[in-house]
Structure 1
């Protein structure tokens, strides 16, 4: 008997012992458990992927809503800025027109004051010139006659 024969006998005994302790069944059940575990992990991964896609879709929707809201806010701010700019322009134009009108009034008043001053100076000068002229040409006799004539003229006007 050679060594090959004993190796074959040992192999048969070994396989018999393995079959007796149900090693193939244990290996099958271990492989079945491992397959079930892998199947469960795949199902969980699939669920997680679906949840992640739902979250992604929700966040994209929220981002679009936020962008739309930001665009609305920007549009409203631009409109408000335009209104404020128009109001400021109108107020500035009103202020300038009021100031211009006030300046024109002051100029007219200054012109009227200047004309009145010139008239007053002309009257004063005319009075002084008349006094000098009358003082040189009229003596006391003529002065009395002029006074009486003025007095009579005044009486006729008062009655």
Structure 2
């Protein structure tokens, strides 16, 4: 540090304008330039005696170390932030892929459920159609039976009238006896 101040000292000690003053000698206490030079040199000496340049250098070094530590910490924080950002981007990508898989699975499940519902509907319609056809067939069979029964009863009534009109009481009694024997033989 001292070597840096040495050229400054020579510039201060040999001031060209002060030597050119002419009427007063430079190294006299009556010359204000000389007094200012002495005060300046004394001030510099006091600064060196109290080690102010070293203190200033130490303070500057300490401040430089603090700034470097802050820069290192900021660099570490930046790297950590970049790592976290990459981690979050990776997680976001995984979550997006998982969401796409869930949506695709849901679509497949919905399509399968729709197909199953269609099949169930077809089966239900087929059962109802079959039930309706069975009811129609049963109603048709009942109607045919009713028509036959009515035709039989009408035929019996007509035959009874014809028989009653054409047969005598003795013939009727013999027909009744023959029918009773036939029924009796069939029941036993």
Please confirm whether the aligned pair reaches a TM-score higher than 0.5, indicating the same fold: yes
Give the whole-Å Cα distance in 2 for the aligned partners of 1:86 and 1:143: 74
Query: Which residue number corresponds to residue 175 of structure 2?
Result: 147
Q: Mark the runs of 5 or more structure 2 residues left unpaired by the alignment.
A: 1-29
- Structure 1 segments (4+ residues) deviating >6 Å: none
Give the whole-Å Cα distance in 1 for the aligned partners of 2:112 and 2:86: 39
The answer to whether residue 125 in structure 2 is matched with residue 111 in structure 1 is no
Aligned pairs (5 A) from 1:4-153 = 4-143=33-172, 147=175
Give the whole-Å Cα distance in 2 for the aligned partners of 1:143 and 1:20: 170
Give the whole-Å Cα distance in 2 for the aligned partners of 1:143 and 1:53: 121
Q: Which structure shows the bigger proportion of residues in helix conformation?
A: 1
Q: With structure 1 as the length reference, what TM-score do the two structures score? A: 0.86
More displaced stretch, 16-25 vs 101-110: 16-25
Q: With structure 2 as the length reference, what TM-score do the two structures score? A: 0.73
Task: Name the count of aligned residue pairs.
Answer: 153
> Cα offset for 1:127?
0.8
What CA RMSD, in Å, does the superposition of the two structures yield over aligned residues?
A: 2.3
> Which structure would you say has the larger RCO, counting Cα contacts within 8 Å and 6 or more residues apart?
2
Q: Mark the runs of 5 or more structure 1 residues left unpaired by the alignment.
A: none
